[in-house]
Amino acid sequence: MIESGEAGSMGKLARTFDVDRSYVSRMLKLTSVAPDTVEAVLHGDEPEGINLRELQKGLPVSWQEQRERWSRRR
């Protein structure tokens, strides 16, 4: 909705879904998770220690850095 311009800001998006702006901000961070990691989570094959809280904090922007971080946990 933000990309299409339907919701021009995180505040507007939060109001649309009746959630807190900080929640929208935390969820938007998840859009930068590497696609193969998302796929693994959806199939229940995520790296050990990966959970929503872990994904929301200090997530490297680089997908390769994400893979390297989580491959050490397998």
How many other CB atoms sit within 10 Å of the CB of residue 22? Answer: 10
pTM, two decimal places: 0.63
11-39 pLDDT per residue, tens? 999 999 999 999 898 888 888 889 988 88
Which pLDDT belongs to residue 62?
93
**φ/ψ of residue 58, rounded to 5:** 55, 40
**Angle, alpha carbons 5-11-17 (nearest 5°):** 85
Domain boundaries, the chain: 1-31, 33-74
Residues 6+ apart with CB under 8 A from 28: 2, 10
